[in-house]
Amino acid sequence: MAETLLTTTDNPYNPFTEFDQWSACDEQLGHYTLSLLGRVCITSDELSELDQSRAIDHAMDEIVAENVSGMHILISADTKLEL
């Protein structure tokens, strides 16, 4: 399981524990973070689970580093989100 997940600074839901609410809010806010991650992540069914996980982690790091929208952050499961 991922140690960190991608979210945005304006989404009050934790994607670890409130995924459905997080996803709905993300789309309502117009971020479409999962779609962005899918576009940035380079993966294949040919990769092992570990390599796929590494590819996803790399893509999340790249999104946060580039941070075109200025909204994307990485959080851990125990992060307390406050708006």
pLDDT digits (tens, 9 = 90+) for 26-80: 999 999 999 999 999 998 999 999 999 999 999 999 999 999 889 999 998 877 7
Q: Is the pLDDT of residue 1 over 70?
A: no
DSSP string covering 18-81: -HHHHHHHHHHTT--HHHHHHHH----TTS-HHHHHHHHHHHHHHHHHH-TTS-EEEEETTPPP
Within-domain flag for 62 = yes
Within-domain flag for 81 = no
Within-domain flag for 64 = yes
Instruction: Note the pTM of the prediction, 2 decimals.
Output: 0.86
Q: How many domains does the chain have?
A: 1
Within-domain flag for 37 = yes
